[in-house]
A and B are shown apart, each in its own frame.
Chain A
Amino acid sequence: MWDLVKKLLFYFGVVLIVFLSVFPFYYAVLTSFKTGTSLFQVSYLPSLSTSTWENYVGVLTNGSFPRNLLNSLIVASITVGVSLMIGVTAAFALARVRFRGRGLVLMTILGISMFPQIAVLAGLFELVRAFNAINTVPALVFSYLIFILPFTVWVLTTFMRDLPVEMEEAAIIDGASPWIIIRRVFLPLMWPALVTTGLLAFIAAWNEFLFALTFTTDNTHRTVPVAIGLLSGASEHEIPWGPIMAASVIVTVPLIVLVLIFQRKIISGLTAGGVKG
């Protein structure tokens, strides 16, 4: 009897956790299909009669949202690509070569990933303006590197440490230089780690707000988070909740799908990096 109660309580807890995790997103989806007055009547379950794709159509055809999506995609992809390229070799040096000052370099990397973005904002702004780069992709990529690159190097270093030492030594005896070891031996083995790291970095870049807010000034150059964050009407009652929720769902669904597909890898990457969500 007591066992049954315990079991019931346990599953109640489980259901509660799942409910609390998923409900806000569920509610956003629900709202995104509503327009007009039905938007302002609270409902808990989807109803076909009031559902409409209008918000989605509106967001995707009018205004600059498709452009914002493209901006986000380009900026995040380039940032992650550059970080991975620089990061793989750096991680090899940090994970595999004993040299004086290695601890210091690792500490610096971790330290920079902990920088408050606001602390570099003024200096970055001066740089971006000096190069006349406001509203450009390079300005965003450049500023995103400050947190994506240390993160990438850090996670890749943890992954690279786990590769077997004897395999590297076999390659050394076969006459492989460090560069050959990376290219021919480690990289083919590290693609799962690269995917994980890349994905985590991509999500972080995709979600960035402060730099994108500061270094873009018009709607066509904004990234998705800024576009969504600044979508607003003239007064509170005119906030276009329907389109906001539709846009939110559009940018979130791909992330959720990716995260669910790579669930295990992401968890290993998060805990390996142990740095940032």
Chain B
Amino acid sequence: MASIQLKNVRKSFGAVNVIKGVDLEVRSGEFMVFVGPSGCGKSTLLRLISGLEDITSGEMLFDGTVVNNLAPSKRGIAMVFQSYALYPHMKVSENMAFGMELAKSSQSEIDKRVSEAANMLQITPYLDRLPKQLSGGQRQRVAIGRAIVRDPRVFLFDEPLSNLDAALRVATRLEIAKLHHKMNNVTMIYVTHDQVEAMTLADRICVLRDGLVEQVGSPLELYEQPNSLFVAGFIGSPKMNFITGVAAEPYKCQTLGVRSEHLEIVPAHGVWNGTVVHTENLGSDSFVYVDIGQEEPVVVRVNGTAHFAPGAPLQFSPINNKVYRFGADGKPLKA
């Protein structure tokens, strides 16, 4: 329901510049994911949007109105924290009602919204419990419920899954995706360092690096048209292979990027050849690590299982010439 615009937003803590001039537009109702390595400023950017931190300079607009100095509670936002941040001494229902209660909403209105949110997240049976009587996954659902009750224009998630174990993480991820479909007019911004979460949840991803926006686009855009070496290496699993030096010469570039699924093993006349270092069999597919004299072994994806003894010679080539060429500046070269 709200679009958010950031115009040359900067943030420094003392002498340390954390956000170094971000221009970004988050469209109304979209699911935007901020992703990047730790220290890139993604959480800080989220906290600037929430209003918990002051912007050092620049402008932030919600639906075209400048909100730079607006208090967080007046921005129409709700936030889900990494540590859940539930109030330990309040029952689940009280946790969810706290914001409305402070806003002096009527008791009937509060009850209605709390029970609606509880239904949506299937936490109704726990409404009378204290947070400490709940599991991690349930707590995170309560935290999401507390955010829903606020009926926000913008939903902010700060690494909400990183305290959960792997299985629960996948389940809760699905939960959040469903939530986005149900509340499809609410803008959601989600911070994570996990590119899989980013790829699976996002309408659009914003890759941040060192306090600056590296690239913004849909998951597939980033995957297929990374506009820098950094994005290419960050998005996709396993990591894109980077080939440099003599081995990249046939393609006339500084660095050549090839995804492992775009490589195939050939019996002869392969573009590259090397020796097998290790094979990972995952059942549905396998990853073969091949040493071709680069710093890192090149990973080649093979359908089904693969059997290569370490040390065996191997030749491989790109499929359909699907390669990414990068210049010395780390930017892609035009074809």
Q: Measuring CB to CB, which residues of chain A are less than 8 angstroms from any residue of chain B?
A: 164, 166-167, 169-176, 180, 184-185, 188-189
Contacts and interface: CB of A to CB of B under 8 A. Distances in A.
Given A164-B85, A167-B85, A173-B99, 8 more contacts: A167-B86, A169-B50, A170-B81, A170-B86, A171-B98, A173-B50, A175-B103, A180-B102
Interface stretch (B72-80, B133-141, B219-227): B72-80
B52 A172 contact: yes
Contacts of B307: none
A266 B182 CA distance: 51
12 contacts: A164-B85, A166-B82, A170-B146, A173-B50, A173-B52, A173-B99, A173-B150, A174-B146, A174-B150, A175-B103, A176-B73, A176-B98
A164, A169, A180: which has the most chain B beta carbons within 10 Å?
Answer: A169
A185 B87 contact: yes
B303 to A, nearest CB: 45
Contacts of A169: 50, 52, 79, 81, 85
Interface of B: 50, 52, 72-73, 77-79, 81-83, 85-89, 98-99, 102-103, 146, 150
Nearest to B87: A185
A170 B52 CA distance: 10
Contacts of A185: 87
Contact of B73 (A164, A167, A175, A189): A175
A166 B83 contact: yes
A166 to B, nearest CB: 4
Contacts of A174: 73, 98-99, 102, 146, 150
CB-based closest 5 A-B pairs: A175-B73, A174-B99, A166-B85, A170-B85, A188-B89
B44 to A, nearest CB: 13
A176 B146 CA distance: 14
B77 A176 contact: no
B81 A176 contact: no
Given A164-B83, A189-B89, A175 B52 contact: no
B81 to A, nearest CB: 4
Contacts of A173: 50, 52, 72-73, 77-79, 99, 150
A67 to B, nearest CB: 41
Given A174-B102, A188-B89, A166 B81 contact: yes
A136 to B, nearest CB: 40
A175 B99 contact: yes
B148 to A, nearest CB: 13
A197 B259 CA distance: 61
Contact of B79 (A170, A175, A188): A170
Contacts of A184: 98
A170 B143 CA distance: 10
A14 B73 CA distance: 58
B77 to A, nearest CB: 7
Given A170-B79, A174-B150, A189 B99 contact: no
B88 A189 contact: yes
A188 B94 CA distance: 14
B55 to A, nearest CB: 16
Contacts of B102: 174-176, 180
Contacts of A175: 73, 99, 102-103
B274 to A, nearest CB: 48
Contacts of B50: 169, 173
A170 B80 CA distance: 8
Contacts of B82: 166
Nearest to B47: A169
Nearest to A168: B85
Nearest to B79: A173
A43 B46 CA distance: 74
Nearest to B104: A175
A138 B178 CA distance: 64
Contacts of A172: 52, 72-73
Nearest to A176: B102
A93 B150 CA distance: 28
A171 B81 CA distance: 12
A4 to B, nearest CB: 46
A185 B102 CA distance: 12
Contacts of A164: 83, 85
Contacts of A176: 73, 98, 102
A102 to B, nearest CB: 14
B78, B79, B103, B150: which has the most chain A beta carbons within 10 Å?
Answer: B79
A37 to B, nearest CB: 60
A169, A173, A176, A184: which has the most chain B beta carbons within 10 Å?
Answer: A173
B319 to A, nearest CB: 47
Contacts of B150: 173-174
A227 B237 CA distance: 79
A53 to B, nearest CB: 46
A167 B89 CA distance: 12
Contacts of B79: 169-170, 173
Contacts of B81: 166, 169-170
A164 B81 CA distance: 11
A192 to B, nearest CB: 12
Nearest to A174: B99
A207 B183 CA distance: 63
A135 B175 CA distance: 69
A66 B238 CA distance: 80
